[in-house]
Amino acid sequence: MKNTFNPDFLLTRLKSNWGLHGLPIGYGQRGGFRLFKNLCIPAYSLLLLAALLFFTRCSQKEAENTKPNILILLTDQHTNDAISYLGNPHLATPAMDQLAAEGTYFTESYCTSPVCGPARSSLITGRMPHETGVVWNSTHIDSSLPTIGHLFQDAGYQTAWVGKWHLPQAYPAKTKMDSVAGFRVIPFQSLDEAWDLGADTDGPIADAAVNYIRDYKGEAPFLLAVSLHNPHDICHVPRRPGEYARADELESLPPLPTNFEIAEDEPEFLAEKRLMDHYGDELLLTKDYTPEDWQAYLYHYYRFTEMVDREIGKVMQALKSKGLDDNTIVVLTSEHGDGAAAHRWAAKLSLYDEAATVPFIIRWTGQIPSGRINRDQLVSGMDLAPTLLDYARVENNVQFTGKSLKPVLEDPRKKLRDYVVVQLADDKLDSSRHARLIRNRRYKYNLYNQGERNEQLFDLWEDPGETDNLAYKESYLPVKDELKTALSTWIRESGDPFLDWHPLPEGSSLSR
C-alpha cells in the first residue's frame, strides 16, 4: 500500500492546534526542520515534529526503493509495417495500437541481425551477435555475459520467461528446463501437445502469462518476458501449401507492395540465397509464385499478426485487472521482420528493411510520453537491456554496446546515435557468408562480403522501398564513402570480425 502521509498537512495542523503560526519553523528541501535556539515548543509538539521527520524520510526512502515491474512482449518475424497503428489498412491490431497510443513508438527500429537466435541474444544482453557468440541459430549464448535475467535477479526482481527462447532450445519448457540465463521458465502446455506453430503455442503462452500476473503477490517486483511465436507461422505457408487457403479461395486480397519486383542489379549474394534449400528455404519455395500467390502470402501474414495481437490483448488486460498497469514498464518488440513480399522476398535473412526493421513500443504511465511516434532516433534491439535497467534504476557495471533510450524519451531533441548497424550471417553451412548494414538518418549502405555487385546504397527519404541502388553512381560516392568509413570505424571499435571471415571482392575494400 502506498504511504499517504502528508508532511505539509501535519505542519499545518501543528500551527493551527498549538499556536505555532508565527514561529520560525522552516520545512527544508530534504524534509528536515530548522529550529532556532530560542524556540520553545511543547513536548507533544516535538514528538509530532519527530514523527513528521520520520515519516518524511520513510516516504522518501519508499519512493527511492519502489521499482517498476517490467513486461516484455516479444513477437516473432514481425516487420515494422505490420501494425494498424502506423496506418496499414490491411490488418487490425487493437491491442498493439492501444499500447502504442499509451507509450512511444520508435519507427526507425532495427534488429541486430535478421535471424532469430542472434537477434534474441542481443535483446537480453545489450550486445551485438558477434559479442554474444550467437551468429547463427541453434547456438548457445556466451555464458560469461550477464543477461537482463541475471541483472534484474541480482537487484531483487522475480524474473520469469514464458514461451519461445531459441538460444538454442526453441522452447525450454518442452525439455522441462527450470531456468534459462537468469529467468525462471514457466511451463505453458503439456509435452504431448503440438509445439511447432504459433497457432498451437501462443494461446497457452498468453494464458500462462495471465496466470503469472493473477497470482503475483507483490513481494518483489517482476520482470516477465512473454515470448510469442506469431506471425512466424508465415514460414509454413510455402512449406505446407495444402494447409492454407490459396489466392482463388480468398475473397479479399491485400495489394502487392510498391517495391514488389526484384531489382536487376540485386547483389549476387542475395540471388544465391534465393536458391538455397536450407536456412531460408521459403525463398526457393516461393521462386515461382505468381503475384496472386504473393498476395495470399501477405493475407496470411496479416492474419497471423492479428492472431498474436489477440494474445497480447489478453496479457495486457490481466495487467490492468490486477491494478499493475500504472507501475509496469511494457515493451513490445520483435527479434526480426519478414520479407513481406517486398522484392519478392519471403522470410528473413536479408538486409532489406522489411526483414531488418521491427516494432519498438515502450510504455510506462506517467514516466514515458504517450501517443508519441518517434521517427528520428535510430534504435537497435541491443538498446532494450540498457533502457530497462536505466528506467528501473538497477545499478550495474556492465559496459553495454546498446544505449539507453531514456535520454531521448525525456528529450527527443537529443540524438541517440549517428549510425545503426545490422549484422547478417545467412548460411550456417557456409560460415564464410556475411553482410553488414549501416544507416544514418537518411542513407543506408549494405555491404556483402561475397559475389558481384556487393554494395547497395539507398536514399530512404526519397526511396523508402529500396528500389534504386545508388552505390555505383558517381554523384553519391561521397555519401557511400562516409558510410563505409563509419562502418570501418564501427568494425574496429566493436571488435566485429567481419573482415576476418572472408576477404571482400576486389574493388570493395573496407579499411580496418
| CATH code of residue 384 | 3.40.720.10
DSSP state of 354: H
According to the model, what pLDDT value does residue 402 have? 98
Residues 120, 123, 128, 130, CA torsion sign: negative
Check: CB of residue 487 under 8 Å from CB of residue 438.
Answer: yes
402 in a structural domain? yes
Domain co-membership, 45 together with 143: no
Domain co-membership, 96 together with 128: yes
According to the model, what pLDDT value does residue 4 have? 39
Cell numbers representing residue 105 in the block: 513508438
**46-89 confidence digits (pLDDT tens):** 455 455 445 444 443 444 458 999 999 999 999 999 999 999 99
298 in a structural domain? no
Domain co-membership, 81 together with 42: no
Locus of grid cell 514481425: 78
Give the list of residues 6+ apart from residue 427 with CB closer than 8 angstroms, or none. Answer: 273, 276, 278, 279, 433
Residue 407 φ then ψ, to 5°: -60, -40
Check: CB of residue 347 under 8 Å from CB of residue 116.
Answer: no
- The residue range of the domain holding 478 is 423-501
pTM of the predicted model over 0.75? yes
Q: Which helix (H) or strand (E) covers residue 155, if one does?
A: none
Locus of grid cell 528541501: 29
Check: CB of residue 123 under 8 Å from CB of residue 114.
Answer: no
205: three-class secondary structure by DSSP: helix
Domain co-membership, 115 together with 195: yes
- Domain count across the chain: 3
458 in a structural domain? yes
Beta strands 222-227 and 69-75, pairing class: parallel
Report d(CA 348, CA 281) in Å as an integer: 11
Per the DSSP assignment, residues forming a β-bridge with 109 are: 379
Which amino acid would we find at residue 375? R
Helices 7-17 & 43-65, crossing angle to 10 degrees? 170
Domain co-membership, 228 together with 126: yes
Domain co-membership, 338 together with 391: yes
79 in a structural domain? yes
Domain co-membership, 105 together with 58: no
Check: CB of residue 236 under 8 Å from CB of residue 194.
Answer: no
Cite the DSSP H helix spans in 240-359. Answer: 268-273, 282-285, 291-321, 353-356
CATH at 475: 3.30.1120.10
Domain co-membership, 46 together with 164: no
165: three-class secondary structure by DSSP: coil
Rg (CA), the chain: 27
Domain co-membership, 350 together with 480: no
Domain co-membership, 175 together with 213: yes
Give the list of residues 6+ apart from residue 473 with CB closer than 8 angstroms, or none. Answer: none
Burial class (CB in 10 A: 0-12, 13-18, 19+), 429: exposed
Locus of grid cell 553512381: 473
Among 381, 412, 443, the domain boundary falls at 412
Domain co-membership, 203 together with 98: yes
Domain co-membership, 394 together with 445: no
270 in a structural domain? no
Let me know how long the chain is. Answer: 512
Beta strands 104-106 and 372-374, pairing class: parallel
80 in a structural domain? yes
257 in a structural domain? no
| Alpha-carbon distances of 17 from 10, 26, 44, 119, 204, rounded to whole Å | 10, 18, 11, 64, 61
Report d(CA 182, CA 149) in Å as an integer: 4
Cell numbers representing residue 154 in the block: 541480482
Name the stretches of the chain with pLDDT < 50.
Answer: 1-41, 46, 49, 52-53, 55-64
Among 43, 64, 85, the domain boundary falls at 64
According to the model, what pLDDT value does residue 503 have? 64
292 in a structural domain? no
Give the list of residues 6+ apart from residue 418 with CB closer than 8 angstroms, or none. Answer: 378, 440, 486
**Nearest Cα residue to 423 out of 71, 178, 121, 145:** 121
Give the list of residues 6+ apart from residue 387 with CB closer than 8 angstroms, or none. Answer: 331, 362, 402, 404, 405, 406
Give the list of residues 6+ apart from residue 134 with CB closer than 8 angstroms, or none. Answer: 117, 118, 120, 121, 140, 141, 142, 167
Among 363, 388, 412, the domain boundary falls at 412
According to the model, what pLDDT value does residue 66 have? 84
